[in-house]
Amino acid sequence: MEKEVFRNFLYKRGLKLTKERQRILDEVFALHGHFDPEELLLRMKNKGMKVSKASVYRTLPLLVASGLIEQVEKNDKHAHYEHTFGHGHHDHLICMKCGRVIEVYSPKLEAIQNELCRESDFDGMTHTLEIKGCCCDCRQGG
């Protein structure tokens, strides 16, 4: 349960699990795919949940630090996140025409990460692969 992970993470650092943090956690995990802080805030306001922009901006880094979510892009203006707990690692194909994001996974990539790290005596923790191009819909349409 992600709430346990978060509670435990906070506890270890002497931080508190406030109502606001719980609400943010819940909403993040109620979400399907990617989101940005503003989007999250808007959703919560629309549901009548009480949270401030500041709390959202202060809580997201905690969720990242606890390993529950990941920052996946910072390509246009704002940061994008996605939750990763119980959701497996994957990478992204990003369509440059319509912005669609397709999730993909390749075990071979994990092997390559290890290989590249070994060659440079580097202790690799995580990787992010983004392939930019054009999705099938846009190729047909345009």
Partner DNA sequence: ATGGGTGCAAATTGTTTGCAACTTA
Partner DNA sequence: TAAGTTGCAAACAATTTGCACCCAT
Contact set with a copy of itself (CB under 8 A): 74-75, 91, 93, 95-96, 102, 104, 106, 108-109, 112-113, 115-117, 119-136, 139
User: x-or-dash pattern for DNA, window 42-81, by CB under 7 A?
Assistant: --------xxxxxx-xxx-x------------x--xxx--
For residues 126 and 108, give the distance between their C-alpha atoms in angstroms, rounded to a whole number: 14
The tokens for 59 are 């809580």
Pick one of 17, 95, 109, 117: the residue that binds DNA (CB under 7 A): 17
What are the C-alpha distances in Å from 23 to residues 9, 30, 84? 16, 10, 18
For residues 93 and 34, give the distance between their C-alpha atoms in angstroms, rounded to a whole number: 13
| Spatial contact of 1 and 9, defined as CB atoms under 8 Å apart | no
Nearer to a copy of itself, 18 or 128 (CB): 128
Task: By CB under 7 A, tell whether 18 contacts DNA.
Answer: yes
